């Protein structure tokens, strides 16, 4: 019998009681602790951004002060990317050895030394030594920041938080451009450029101190057998305790720890400490790992091969070729590039977890193709004209700004987000270090050859070449890149392995998940 006191409007009282007891779901709040951890870790990327930005303006003053040739300057500007290979290659093993957190501190300390050496450089060779040391620090920072952030982030905000390294790269570029403009009034040919480079040591100190207050990555703690410590970190960085338990169960499974094991300390095998990873990555990869490698290395290749460093590092020269010949207008136009780049990367951070990786990536590279083609046309027209063409100059400025805007809305942040979330736990550190190495090699080649390239095939021809590379990249992304939005890091691996048939694999996984959910709901109702 239904209790009459619960009956209202013909609804049985028991049902009404259940409705009254039902607590409707509340809007999900962003995890502030995970946000703070991601913010601190990602600040290391400021170091690379500052170096890129500051060298774009400092190079002309260095060239006049030290009497360098164009070839020496393009090597000086781009060599830090190749030097960073040593740092990014070592960062994977170092982060598995001493942990993600102390690896970030190590990166900041190395860059500090490099910035000081560059600031006190008295000749070209001394400056190259400083570039080498700073490059090691940059390599460490580039690899470890997105890895730590991805491992500490809940799935609901992983895209947003893992895009922070690219945000801070852009912020660093902006600070570098502003530093160029500010110190251009302080004896730029002797003291100014040294202040521009040396002041980069200051943020590295604050970064190192701030990072010491962060927790260690929960995935690294599990790899060390420290389940109790990992559980504590996951409780703080997850959206709920239920999610924390699910994340810990997934990490334990990936690390080879039995699900029923709940000890605070577990003895781990050597395999969990990184042994045999390179063999699994390179010598005998499974189809899944091979697909992940193609995607991870490919996105880093196309990010840099489409010419972003040529535009950012040599924007004063591009504007000079376009007809803006005075230093102050050149530097102001360059500051505008940094401002636009920073604004659009901030927009991208809020779209990654709402729109998804694929739509943003494909829209981004499509806009880049149009911008590069338009820039190449405008520069070619100017190059073949014997007088100033105001509309072509305006088109050059507009297309440079639109290019960096489209890059920042997708290609820039998604490269680091995607690469940090597709590798399985056991391969993540070394896999991300390979992606970073690819990024730095291509960036180094582009930045060290751009002056020679545009002298050989014209500056318009150089951007037509970048247009063609970006078009190939667009086809590559469309055919081979699955969507990873909203998936746990341990679930992402299941989408890979079928290469061009990943869509059917994704559909099968969705059907399986829906069936499991239906069964679970049926059991709950019974």
Cα three-residue angle 387-392-395, rounded to 5 degrees: 160
What pLDDT, on the 0 to 100 scale, is given for residue 30?
Answer: 63
Same-domain pairing of 297 and 446 = yes
Closest CA to 376 of 451, 446, 443, 454: 454
- Looking at the domain assignment, is residue 84 inside a domain? yes
Which of the given ranges, 228-232, 389-393, 426-430, has the highest pLDDT on average? Answer: 228-232
* Count of Cβ atoms closer than 10 Å to residue 486 Cβ: 12
Residue 21 pLDDT exceeds 70: no
pLDDT at 492 over 80: no
User: What's the total number of domains in the chain?
Assistant: 2
Triad 242, 524, 19: Cα angle to 5°: 85
What CATH number is given to the structural domain containing 134? Answer: 1.20.1250.20
Question: What is the CA angle 115-117-119, rounded to 5?
Answer: 70
Same domain, yes or no: 347 and 462 = yes
Residue 252 DSSP class:
H
Tell me: do 104 and 146 sit in the same domain.
yes
**Residue 524 located in a structural domain:** no
In three-state secondary structure terms, 8 is strand
| Residue 347 and residue 259 in one domain | no
In a domain, 502, yes or no: yes
Say yes or no: 224 and 303 in one domain.
no
Residues 321 and 243 in one domain: no
**What is the model's pLDDT at position 486?**
72
Tell me if 17 is assigned to some domain: no
**N residues, the chain:** 526
Whole-number pLDDT of residue 270: 55
Q: Is the same domain home to 283 and 262?
A: no
Do 47 and 201 meet the contact criterion of CB atoms below 8 Å apart?
no
Q: Which domain holds residue 52?
A: 31-266
CA 238, 243, 247, 248: dihedral to nearest 10 degrees? 90
343 in a structural domain: yes
Neighbours of 475 (CB within 10 A): 10
Task: Look at residue 261 and give its three-state secondary structure.
Answer: coil
For the cut 60, the answer to whether the pLDDT of residue 455 exceeds it is yes
DSSP code of residue 458: -
The answer to whether residues 347 and 367 belong to one domain is: yes
DSSP per residue, 284-324: S--HHHHHHHHHHHHHHHHHHHTTHHHHHHTHHHHHHHHT-
Residues 6 or more apart whose CB falls under 8 angstroms from that of 110 comprise: 87, 133, 134, 136, 137, 140
Q: Kindly report which listed range (60-64, 78-82, 327-331, 336-340) carries the lowest average pLDDT score.
A: 327-331
In a domain, 525, yes or no: no
Is it the case that residue 467 has pLDDT exceeding 90?
yes
pLDDT in tens, 93-109: 888 888 888 999 999 99
pLDDT tops 50 at residue 31: yes
Name the nearest CA neighbour of 168 among 50, 312, 332: 50
Q: How far apart are CA 156 and CA 480, in angstroms?
A: 24
341, 247: one domain: no
d(CA 60, CA 56): 8
Same domain, 280 and 418: yes
- High-pLDDT (> 70) share of the chain, %: 92
Question: Which position has the higher pLDDT, 142 or 21?
Answer: 142
Residue 388 exposed, middle or buried by CB count within 10 Å (0-12, 13-18, 19+): exposed
Phi, psi angles (nearest 5°) of residue 25: -60, 140
Any residues with CB less than 8 A from the CB of 404 and at least 6 apart, and which? 308, 311, 312, 337, 340, 341, 344
Task: Say if 361 falls within a structural domain.
Answer: yes
**Confidence (pLDDT) at 24:** 45
**Residue that terminates a domain, selected from 231, 266, 301:** 266
Would you say 56 and 177 are in contact if contact means Cβ atoms under 8 Å apart?
A: yes
3-state SS assignment for residue 11: strand
Of 80-94, 126-140, 387-401, 456-470, the poorest mean pLDDT is in 80-94
Q: What is the mean pLDDT of the chain?
A: 83
In this model, does residue 500 exceed pLDDT 90? Answer: no
Please check the confidence at residue 17 and state whether its pLDDT lies above 50.
no
Say if residue 252 is in the same domain as residue 288.
Answer: no
Considering Cα of 416, then 422, then 426, then 431, what sign does the dihedral take? negative
Span 271-302, pLDDT tens digits: 444 557 778 888 888 888 999 999 999 999 99
Would you say residue 439 has pLDDT above 80? yes
- Model confidence pLDDT, tens digit, residues 33-56: 888 888 888 888 888 888 888 888
Mean pLDDT of the 216-244 span: 89
Indicate whether 41 belongs to any domain: yes
Which pLDDT belongs to residue 109?
Answer: 93
**Residue 407 pLDDT greater than 80, yes or no:** yes
pLDDT band at 25 (very low <50, low <70, confident <90, very high): very low
The last residue of one of the domains, among 241, 266, 291, is: 266
| Domain end position, chosen among 266, 300, 330 | 266
Greater confidence (187 vs 141) lies with 141
19 has pLDDT over 80: no
Residues 239 and 348 in one domain: no
Dihedral sign of CA atoms 183, 185, 187, 190 in order: positive
pTM above 0.85, yes or no: no
Rounded distance between C-alpha atoms, residue 513 and residue 507, angstroms: 10
């Amino acid at each position: 019998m239904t209790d009459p006191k619960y009956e209202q409007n013909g609804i049985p009282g028991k049902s009404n009681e259940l409705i009254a007891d039902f607590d409707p779901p509340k809007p999900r709040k962003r995890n502030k602790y995970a946000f703070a951890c991601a913010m601190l870790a990602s600040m290391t990327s400021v170091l690379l951004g500052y170096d890129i930005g500051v060298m774009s303006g400092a190079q002309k003053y260095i060239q006049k002060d030290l009497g360098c040739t164009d070839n020496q300057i393009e090597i000086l500007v781009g060599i830090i990317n190749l030097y960073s290979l040593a740092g990014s290659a070592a960062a994977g093993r170092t982060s598995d050895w001493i942990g993600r957190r102390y690896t970030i501190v190590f990166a900041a300390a190395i860059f500090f030394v490099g910035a000081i050496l560059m600031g006190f450089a008295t000749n070209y060779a001394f400056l190259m030594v400083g570039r080498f040391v700073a490059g090691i620090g940059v390599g460490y920072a580039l690899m470890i920041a997105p890895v730590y952030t991805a491992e500490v982030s809940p799935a609901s905000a992983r895209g947003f938080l893992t895009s922070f390294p690219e945000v801070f790269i852009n912020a660093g570029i902006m600070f570098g451009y502003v530093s160029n403009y500010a110190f251009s009034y302080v004896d730029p040919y002797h003291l100014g450029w040294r202040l521009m480079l040396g002041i980069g040591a200051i943020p590295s100190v604050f970064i190192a101190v701030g990072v010491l207050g962060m927790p260690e990555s929960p995935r690294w703690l599990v790899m060390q057998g420290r389940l109790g410590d990992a559980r504590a970190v996951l409780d703080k960085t997850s959206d709920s305790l239920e999610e924390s338990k699910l994340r810990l169960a997934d990490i334990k499974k990936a690390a080879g720890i039995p699900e029923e094991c709940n000890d605070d300390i577990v003895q781990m095998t050597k395999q969990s400490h990184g042994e045999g990873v390179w063999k699994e990555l390179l010598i005998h990869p499974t189809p899944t790992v091979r697909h992940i490698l193609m995607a991870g290395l490919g996105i880093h290749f196309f990010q840099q091969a489409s010419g972003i460093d040529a535009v950012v590092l040599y924007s004063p020269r591009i504007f000079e070729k376009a007809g803006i010949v005075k230093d102050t207008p050149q530097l102001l136009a360059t500051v505008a590039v940094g401002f636009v780049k920073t604004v659009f990367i901030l927009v991208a951070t809020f779209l990654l977890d709402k729109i998804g990786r694929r739509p943003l990536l494909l829209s981004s590279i499509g806009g880049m193709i149009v911008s590069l083609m338009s820039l190449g046309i405008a520069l070619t027209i100017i190059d073949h004209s014997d007088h100033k063409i105001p509309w072509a100059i305006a088109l050059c400025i507009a297309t440079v700004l639109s290019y960096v805007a489209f890059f920042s809305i997708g290609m820039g942040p998604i490269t680091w987000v995607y690469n940090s979330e597709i590798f399985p736990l056991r391969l993540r550190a070394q896999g991300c270090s390979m992606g970073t190495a690819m990024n730095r090699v291509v960036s180094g080649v582009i930045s060290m050859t751009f002056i020679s390239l545009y002298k050989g095939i014209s500056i318009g021809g150089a951007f037509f070449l970048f247009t063609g590379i970006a078009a190939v990249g667009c086809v590559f992304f469309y055919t081979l890149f699955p969507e990873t939005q909203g998936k746990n890091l341990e679930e992402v691996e299941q989408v890979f392995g079928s290469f061009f048939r990943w869509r059917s694999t994704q559909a099968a996984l969705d059907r399986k998940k829906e069936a499991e959910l239906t069964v679970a709901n049926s059991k709950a109702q019974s």
